[in-house]
């Protein structure tokens, strides 16, 4: 029926990664005035690809959840203030908006998936 990792665990992983990103953004925003603080972020797309390729290998042995340990890296190319802090208000605001939308997308897809399943179960008589 399907090849590749099941839809639900894909969406769940994407959701968790978005939440991790949101946490990094919150920390960046909180430390906008901390001297020497550097902006952190995760690369959502590459982390998700890692999960997908990992899940492909394990999907044959059953529903083993792939452990999520996203790598946080320092963001390059941001302007640094004299005290060493490089958090940009606009950059973080933009990333937050983007992450919120990605999270919402995943939630919506998950809801749709459940609805489909439920109508297959209940409506198929």
Q: How far apart are CA 123 and CA 22, in angstroms?
A: 38
94: contact with other proteins by CB under 8 A: no
82: contact with other proteins by CB under 8 A: no
Q: How far is the CB of 112 from other proteins (least distance, A)?
A: 11
- Measured in residues, the chain has a length of 125
Using an 8 Å Cβ cutoff, are 44 and 33 in contact? Answer: no
Residue 72's contacts (CB-CB under 8 Å, 6 or more residues apart) are 24, 40, 41, 42
Among 62, 76, 79, 82, binds other proteins (CB under 8 A): 62
Q: How far is the CB of 62 from other proteins (least distance, A)?
A: 8
Write the DSSP string, 30-56: HTTTSTT---EE--HHHHHHHHHHHHH
Among 44, 52, 78, 96, binds other proteins (CB under 8 A): 96
Rule CB under 8 A: which residues touch other proteins? Answer: 1-2, 6-9, 12, 15-16, 19-20, 22-27, 29-35, 37, 40, 59, 62-63, 68-72, 89, 92-93, 96, 100, 103-104, 107, 110-111, 113-118, 120-125
């Amino acid at each position: 029926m399907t090849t590749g990792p099941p839809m639900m665990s894909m969406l769940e992983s994407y959701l968790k990664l978005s939440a991790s990103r949101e946490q990094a953004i919150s920390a960046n925003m909180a430390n906008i005035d901390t001297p020497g603080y550097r902006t952190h972020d995760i690369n959502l797309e590459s982390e998700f690809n890692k999960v997908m390729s990992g899940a492909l290998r394990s999907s044959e042995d059953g529903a083993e959840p792939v452990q999520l340990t996203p790598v946080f890296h320092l963001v390059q190319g941001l302007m640094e203030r004299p005290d060493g802090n490089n958090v940009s208000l606009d950059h973080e605001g933009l990333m937050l908006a983007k992450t919120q939308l990605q999270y919402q997308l995943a939630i919506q897809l998950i809801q749709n998936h459940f609805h489909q399943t439920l109508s297959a179960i209940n409506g198929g008589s």
